[in-house]
């Protein structure tokens, strides 16, 4: 008959080979048979974690932490149990206060740095999504960045993604800026730009907002201008750039930037706060109908999403005698879009970008190669020139493979490569089939 020691060795071998389900049965047998020791406890908890039985793992973790407070393996498994639990709760949408409380309980047991970092990143991600800057700042301070890898994680397409160290810099910057400590963020922003050129767009944005946070609006505008010259900005870059330009006393330029952002096709609920700010600037320049429409749109969006109306927005509704909203979000968006079309004055960098998006060539003749029917793109090869890529969803007719066509060439921004290229658009049949 096997002794408890024999069964313990068997369980350990199964655990080491990855057979945690089988190992758990033996550990349970030993524990329920009153064969209590730290190694059995730690092994049992390890298997619960690996089998993702997290609620059970947490109950057992608290029990054995009290029973074996000085056992190194037990303490390590307890720490990782908390890390797994916090991560699981975050993935299931737990609120930031709940995650924070659980994380604080984990820290009270003085866990080693690695599980602390895992707990912190789960909480930081949730805090960032909720714009809870105080919690974000608190947990970035509990991470030891010297333990974080600067190497980006490999993505399924073979490209390099964000590293844990880069993510920490970004979260730290956001937390500091959001809690009024932008001055502390400035050197971190500069370090991040130097260390992580692939994430330049994000860290340049952090730097611009840090300058704005300390009232250095000219430097903020310069940073935004450089960002817009270097990469294609996202809608929020343009909105925030507009806010900085407005602070510099250039409301018309601010509106032009914000209008460009609003026309970028982003989901309107992502821009609801910006619409109220646009209303304020429209009011400042005397465009009162535009101001009313933007206040109304911001309100209608909040009502659609079942969000509360903040006091500052309600004040604007009252000041403009807007007591009810009868138009749909779609109708209000259309009305606002007409105001956006009348915002013409733009800073030089944005104007330059508009110039880049004008056709490079028109009426070019070439032969189209459609390729496999499931392929989303095609190629057109003009005589004695490099070929151009085009996209099938932009075709307005069904050309025959290898037929002659006429097309225009326009700049196209490749987001994956973060660079400008060229593509074929406005493809149409060529009547003269004698061309080669």
CATH of the domain at 393: 2.40.50.140
Last residue of a domain, one of 146, 169, 196: 146
* Domain encompassing residue 414: 359-429
Position 433 scores a pLDDT of: 41
Per-residue pLDDT 10s for the chain (436 aa) are: 578 888 888 998 999 999 999 999 999 999 988 877 899 999 999 999 999 998 999 999 999 999 999 899 999 999 999 999 999 999 999 999 999 999 998 888 888 899 999 999 999 999 999 999 999 999 999 999 999 999 887 767 667 789 999 999 999 999 999 999 999 999 999 999 999 998 999 999 999 999 999 999 999 999 999 998 888 888 999 999 999 999 999 999 999 999 999 987 678 888 999 999 999 999 999 999 999 999 999 999 999 999 999 999 999 999 999 988 988 888 999 899 889 988 876 544 554 455 455 678 888 999 999 988 888 889 999 887 778 998 887 787 789 999 999 998 888 766 555 566 788 888 888 874 433 3
- Work out the burial of residue 305: count CB atoms within 10 Å of its CB; fewer than 13 is exposed, 13-18 middle, 19 or more buried: exposed
Is residue 423 situated within a structural domain? yes
Is residue 402 situated within a structural domain? yes
Position 264 scores a pLDDT of: 78
Q: What is the CATH number of the domain that holds 62?
A: 1.25.40.10
Is residue 419 situated within a structural domain? yes
Position 266 scores a pLDDT of: 76
Is residue 124 situated within a structural domain? yes
Is residue 314 situated within a structural domain? no
Is residue 273 situated within a structural domain? no
Last residue of a domain, one of 107, 122, 146: 146
* Number of domains making up the chain: 2
Is residue 404 situated within a structural domain? yes
In the block, tokens 């059970």 appear at: 56
Last residue of a domain, one of 99, 119, 146: 146
Is residue 186 situated within a structural domain? no
- Say if residues 177 and 185 touch (Cβ distance below 8 Å): yes
**pTM recorded for the entire structure:** 0.72
Position 158 scores a pLDDT of: 67
Position 415 scores a pLDDT of: 53
């Amino acid at each position: 008959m096997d002794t408890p020691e024999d069964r313990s060795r068997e369980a350990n071998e199964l655990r080491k080979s990855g057979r945690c389900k089988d190992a758990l049965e033996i550990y349970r047998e030993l524990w329920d048979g009153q064969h209590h020791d730290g190694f059995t406890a730690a092994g049992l908890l390890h298997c619960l974690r690996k089998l993702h039985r997290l609620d059970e793992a947490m109950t057992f973790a608290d029990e054995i932490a009290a029973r074996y407070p000085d056992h190194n393996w037990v303490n390590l498994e307890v720490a990782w149990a908390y890390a797994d639990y916090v991560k699981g709760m975050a993935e299931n949408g737990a609120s930031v206060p709940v995650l924070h409380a659980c994380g604080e309980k984990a820290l009270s047991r003085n866990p080693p740095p690695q599980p602390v970092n895992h707990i912190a990143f789960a909480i930081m991600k949730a805090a960032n999504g909720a714009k809870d800057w105080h919690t974000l700042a608190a947990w970035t301070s509990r991470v030891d960045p010297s333990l974080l890898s600067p190497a980006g994680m490999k993505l399924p397409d073979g490209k390099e993604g964000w590293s844990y160290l880069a993510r920490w810099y970004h979260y730290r910057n956001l937390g500091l800026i959001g809690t009024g400590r932008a001055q502390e963020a400035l050197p971190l922003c500069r370090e991040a730009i130097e260390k992580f050129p692939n994430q330049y767009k994000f860290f340049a944005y952090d730097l611009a907002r840090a300058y704005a946070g300390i009232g250095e609006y000219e430097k903020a505008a310069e940073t935004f201008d450089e960002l817009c010259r270097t990469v294609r900005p996202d809608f929020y870059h343009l909105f925030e750039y507009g806010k900085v330009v407005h602070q510099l006393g250039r409301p018309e330029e601010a509106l032009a930037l914000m209008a460009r952002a609003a026309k970028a096709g982003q989901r309107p609920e992502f821009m609801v706060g910006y619409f109220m700010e646009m209303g304020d600037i429209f009011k400042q320049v005397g465009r009162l109908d535009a101001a009313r429409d933007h206040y109304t749109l911001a309100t209608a969006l909040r009502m659609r999403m079942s969000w509360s109306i903040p006091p500052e927005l309600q004040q604007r509704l009252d000041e403009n005698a807007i007591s009810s909203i009868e138009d749909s979000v779609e109708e209000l968006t259309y009305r606002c879009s007409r105001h956006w079309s009348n915002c013409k004055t733009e800073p030089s960098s944005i104007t330059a970008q508009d110039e880049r998006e004008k056709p490079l060539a028109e009426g070019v003749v070439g032969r189209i190669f459609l390729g496999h029917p499931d392929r989303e793109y095609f190629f057109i090869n003009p005589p004695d020139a490099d070929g151009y890529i085009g996209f099938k969803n932009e075709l307005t007719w069904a050309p025959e493979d290898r037929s002659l066509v006429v097309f225009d060439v326009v700049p196209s921004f490749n987001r994956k490569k973060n660079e400008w290229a060229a593509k074929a658009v406005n493809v149409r049949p060529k009547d003269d089939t004698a061309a080669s």
